Amino acid sequence: MSATILDGAAVAAAIRERVAGEVRELAGRGVSPRLEVILVGDDPASRVYVGAKGKACAQVGIRSGTHNLAAGAGAAELASLIARLNADPDVDGILLQMPLPKPLDGRAFLDLIDPAKDVDGFHPTNVGLLHQGRPAFVPCTPAGILELLDRAGVALTGARAVVLGRSEIVGKPMAALLLARHATVTVCHTRTADLPAVCREADVLVAAAGRAALVTAAFVKPGAVVVDVGVNRVEDAALVARLYPGDTERAAGLAKRGYTLVGDVDFNAVARVAGAITPVPGGVGPLTIAGLLQNTVTAARRRRGL
Ligand code: NAD
């Protein structure tokens, strides 16, 4: 392996430390940032994410609460909860955990959140501001990736950047951030022709497709920086053995849990070609919650003109 490993966990720890410092500084001014999380239904994965967010808030001194509505909650109930949190001057950040159970339409409820409290950066006002290059709440995962690239000293001005995936939460905001930093950006998706050739042009390749090990060595220019956003459950033991030959820890994890988490990048093959690469786990994952903490403190500050 020749690539440098980009340690997202270490960068996330540094972000959390910075946020904790900002929380202490705000306390001196009588301000105590507060995040409120709305969870609808009882999806086990969402419960885990919400729990992790609450714990992370506590660790840096951010107050947080969870509002758990029943899976059958009506649109009116959810809308009135959002309205109440919007109107509460003591609430700085509101996070609506996705996905919502059917038939609730997530998009419609994200649109109801006060843009000044939209710490996920999903409200159209914040999306628009981001695309205009003006201060906005930036979605947590791409914001964290940009900080990871900056701390690793990756030059973005003039670089060819390729973002694989065009979702609202990762691909599109990532492309906007890279463009604002003067990279020449290409966004790929399921209908991109000759995907490997387009990706091979990248100095910086961000893979956010949600397809296990889609990005092989053939997608990567020698020396490129490869950021793997994907988190994919893989249960196929033969595939895991092919992707991670001799990795007894992975094999043991797979045997114990019945699955293992694999990124969008064939890590071992790509690490032989790339200049730098994020692992899964321990790469992009930890940056997302760190970004949420940062956005919550920023919201507390901005709402008071500090
Ligand atoms: P999504 O399903 O909303 O979007 C995936 C995008 O990739 C789409 O635009 C689609 O066109 C494109 N795509 C899918 N398959 C493709 C293929 N074969 N070829 C070319 N393009 C293809 O997913 P998302 O919400 O953006 O998440 C992407 C991945 O990142 C998922 O694995 C998700 O779990 C992970 N994720 C991780 C974090 C984190 O904190 N690490 C945060 C968000 C998402």
Catalytic residue flag (residue 43): no
Within a domain: 82 = yes
- Final residue in a domain of this structure, among 98, 114, 130: 114
Catalytic residue flag (residue 172): no
Angle at 156 between CA 151 and CA 160, to 5 degrees: 135
> For the chain, first and last CA: distance in Å?
47
* Domain with 63 in it: 31-114
- At residue 1, the pLDDT reads 64
> What mean pLDDT is predicted for residues 68-94?
96
Indicate whether residue 171 lines ligand 1 (CB < 6 A). Answer: yes
Within a domain: 126 = no
The pick from 190, 191, 287 for probing ligand 1's pocket by mutation, whose C-beta has the most ligand atoms within 8 angstroms, reads 190
Within a domain: 110 = yes
Within a domain: 301 = no
Confidence band of 93 (pLDDT split at 50, 70, 90) = very high
- At residue 234, the pLDDT reads 96
Say if residues 93 and 299 touch (Cβ distance below 8 Å). Answer: yes
Residues 188 and 279 grouped into a single domain: yes
- Please say if the pLDDT value at position 73 is more than 80: yes
Q: Which of 92, 118, 120, 266 is catalytic?
A: 120
Q: Which of 97, 203, 221, 228 is catalytic?
A: 97
Indicate whether residue 144 lines ligand 1 (CB < 6 A). Answer: no
Residues 101 and 155 grouped into a single domain: no
Q: For the segment 128-165, what is each residue's pLDDT rounded down to a tens digit?
A: 999 999 988 999 999 999 999 999 999 999 999 999 99
Say if residues 57 and 64 touch (Cβ distance below 8 Å). Answer: yes
- At residue 248, the pLDDT reads 94
Looking at residue 254, which CATH number applies to its domain?
A: 3.40.50.720
Within a domain: 289 = no
Q: For the segment 205-232, what is each residue's pLDDT rounded down to a tens digit?
A: 999 999 999 999 999 999 999 999 999 9
Looking at residue 68, which CATH number applies to its domain?
A: 3.40.50.10860
Tally of structural domains, the chain: 2
Specify which residues 188 forms β-bridges with. 164
- At residue 135, the pLDDT reads 82
CA 289 to chain centre: 8
Residues 82 and 147 grouped into a single domain: no
Residues 226 and 270 grouped into a single domain: yes
pTM: 0.96
Within a domain: 293 = no
Task: Output the CA 188–ligand 1 centroid distance in Å.
Answer: 11
- Please say if the pLDDT value at position 68 is more than 90: yes
Closest CA to 260 of 282, 281, 242, 276: 281
